[in-house]
Structure 1
């Protein structure tokens, strides 16, 4: 096993997963209430699918000599979504702890010789597409501190909050992670106009989180948006773009509202997406972590690897 080094402390590129939930739903045919992956970990066929999915990612990483940011399956494993699914806090504690142990087991069995980072995933309290109500920073820190605390105690290398729609929730999560002494990554989702669902420009959101959080996040990411939605919002050489350390883009150009109603998978064009990642890296030279979101899978990751390598 190689020694582990976090993405923001390394010059290495890192592969992470791509469209995990859409792969499970559309390609494997699992029933996924609330778009939650974690209940499938209790099923033998679910665990087999998880291993199949991540085995291919480890193979890609080895072929391309990159590291792996290995996510836990806990995007929906927070109190509000757990309640929707009929799960109490005790059950959620077990789920989050088990997810970390499962990730460590995948690292042990599949990650020999690779730099594999176990990444504890936190999702938004509400809908990742529609911020109907925005918590205060204090409320967000208390709410997400429950899950962050379990992930930290279970031994994750870092925590990432994906598909965030607003700044106060991001600051609250960053503060919770800082209190626990765990590196934190904040990943915002963007609309087709390149802005957060609450209307802020990405550079303004990054600046506010950096200014208001007790400890700055290790870096920021963008996920669940197509490159066409935000690439024109990043001027070449922009200082603030140095804070973006990763992208997990959608394969689809659809808006969030359209994706919410979509009954078939829009998997876009893997070759085109790979070329767009290469252009994004020119705009964001600190971008070391690359994966995908809605509609992407291993085909897209393979093309992204090829484009970045060339």
Structure 2
């Protein structure tokens, strides 16, 4: 009787199998079908692949169940066959494995690296269904593979641990990066998974041996669990109508020894690999004696409890973190605008974003080349702020710079990055910016872009063609109340709400009486409004905004109070005036929208702290971490 998989890895490097799907493709079976269905319709084909890997030296077989969950199978009308397909997959692998090889139940990511609108409750349900069937069929372990973020992997891992103490292998899909999609460094991710019950942790897919080698090397000195590696056979190429992989079996044999020297205890292959690749790995590691695994606990992470508690809340609660629309209906909510830099240095921006996060900012909003002045991509900075700092990005998207193709492509990029809050704006004409020879596109109006974004939420592309999944955007609309006839501005706002706007963000207001007038003029609207407040930085700044910037008007009182003030004195007065406005705004609106002048983020921090003081909200130490 073979030992428990964990015990076997204490003193051995075990050989995993290779690809199933791409190998079936190489055998002539077309893409676009469910290879998992073969467990029922062509079991001998699946068994033949397993036997080839066993003959090549594989000591661990993965059941042909990678995508055998309700969500993935439903795309082929097979959702009613989840149990049949998974049970058959384990039985076929078990028969091919014989008495000596291990069979692990393969469970793949459902999100697949995309921040879909699938709820945590649904993920739990689908993982629990598949995993319970695999366990009931008596697998030797569970392999959770091709996961892109810690959150989803922990959801799957928690489902296993609620049902069994069976060995669990957790594998991330990486592509020459040192972080997961939700922003955790690999040492952090490994630490969290180990603490939550993972027995073996590693990498598969997305890249070949070289990319996974770099990922393993980044963990040097920080491993206290066995590592598994299942690289692709290099980069896929499309030649003469066929998908081909370039990494030769001999190369895999050479890299296998290097992986083993770095501490890998399970070495196999992913996309593009064949029995020949596995045979080279097996031969290269014949007689290999690994070094003992260092079970000394790795150095404590800077804030491990914070990481765990934050994730645990996402996993154990059926609902995700509330979006801004839900949040602002419950309490005072603050979003802060921080301008992307006009050069390539992002250090100050990231420091400012971190300070705002620490002060309790509910979302960081980034303009889209406001005033038609060229700045760094707000998509890139929004993603970095989300991944590295953990602050929610709210990204402006202007009609000015992109045609219909570019606009949909841009929004699809937001969805893939997990950025789901956007503000749709027309955008200032290009001829008034720093590149006056540039063209303004304006394929869409602000009304149309709102409708088109909401169309993506319905799973329909701009072209009208159905998409394979739905987006989940919360769409904001801009509102300028600094006009002669407020009722006309409200009528325009009503049209934006009719187009689908979920929330409203106003231009900065500098008159307490206007704040009250806005509330009265919009009292009939259910859509939440974030009242804009931008502290003035100096007397000159006040004059410029009042006289030269469209949509901004300052009262004579404000202009007088700011007159002649510069430097710290000017900023201090600007914050004082802004606090007075904030106090009035908080009486009438839950949403506060603070605009940071000239990267003086400390001014925004002071205003946020004032909001929390007035609202009685106390930030927990976890939030401030």
Aligned equivalents of 2:20 and 2:235: distance in 1?
18
Counterpart residue number, 2:160: 177
Alpha-carbon distance change, 283 to 13 in structure 1, aligned in 2, over 3 angstroms = closer
Alpha-carbon distance change, 243 to 117 in structure 1, aligned in 2, over 3 angstroms = same
Alpha-carbon distance change, 47 to 7 in structure 1, aligned in 2, over 3 angstroms = same
Counterpart residue number, 1:222: 203
* TM score, norm. by length of structure 1: 0.81
Task: Kindly indicate whether residue 11 of structure 2 is the aligned counterpart of residue 23 of structure 1.
Answer: no
RMSD between superposed Cα atoms in Å:
2.5
Matched position secondary structure for 1:121: strand
Q: CA deviation at 1:132?
A: 3.1
Counterpart residue number, 2:339: none
Aligned equivalents of 1:54 and 1:233: distance in 2?
28
Counterpart residue number, 1:96: 86
- Report if the CA contact (8 A) 1:220-1:246 is conserved: yes
Which structure 2 residue ranges, 5 or more long, are not aligned? Answer: 289-625
Match of 2:251 among 268, 272, 289: 272
Which structure 1 residue ranges, 5 or more long, are not aligned? Answer: 62-66
Aligned equivalents of 1:233 and 1:51: distance in 2?
33
- Report if the CA contact (8 A) 1:234-1:241 is conserved: no
Q: CA deviation at 1:197?
A: 4.1
Q: CA deviation at 1:194?
A: 4.4
Q: CA deviation at 1:196?
A: 3.1
Aligned equivalents of 1:223 and 1:74: distance in 2?
16
* TM score, norm. by length of structure 2: 0.42
Q: CA deviation at 1:301?
A: 1.0
Q: CA deviation at 1:204?
A: 1.9
- Report if the CA contact (8 A) 2:147-2:173 is conserved: yes
Aligned equivalents of 1:238 and 1:272: distance in 2?
23
Q: CA deviation at 1:199?
A: 4.4
Taking CA–CA contacts closer than 8 Å with sequence separation of 6 or more, which of the two structures ends up with the larger relative contact order?
1
Write 1 or 2 for the structure with the bigger share of helix: 1
Aligned equivalents of 1:137 and 1:184: distance in 2?
21
Matched position secondary structure for 2:223: helix
Alpha-carbon distance change, 71 to 137 in structure 1, aligned in 2, over 3 angstroms = same
Alpha-carbon distance change, 245 to 7 in structure 1, aligned in 2, over 3 angstroms = farther
Matched position secondary structure for 1:273: helix
Q: How does 1:73-92 map to 2 (within 5 A)?
A: 73-89=64-80, 91-92=81-82
Q: Say which one has the larger Rg.
A: 2
Q: How does 1:38-57 map to 2 (within 5 A)?
A: 38-43=36-41, 46-57=42-53
Match of 2:267 among 287, 290, 305: 290
Q: CA deviation at 1:30?
A: 0.8
Aligned equivalents of 1:299 and 1:197: distance in 2?
33
Q: How does 1:185-224 map to 2 (within 5 A)?
A: 185-211=169-195, 213=196, 216-224=197-205
Alpha-carbon distance change, 208 to 138 in structure 1, aligned in 2, over 3 angstroms = farther
Aligned equivalents of 1:174 and 1:226: distance in 2?
25
Counterpart residue number, 2:285: 308
What is the CA deviation profile of residues 180-212 of structure 1, one whole-angstrom value per residue up to 9, with x for unaligned ones?
11322111110133443444332221122234x
Q: CA deviation at 1:231?
A: 2.1
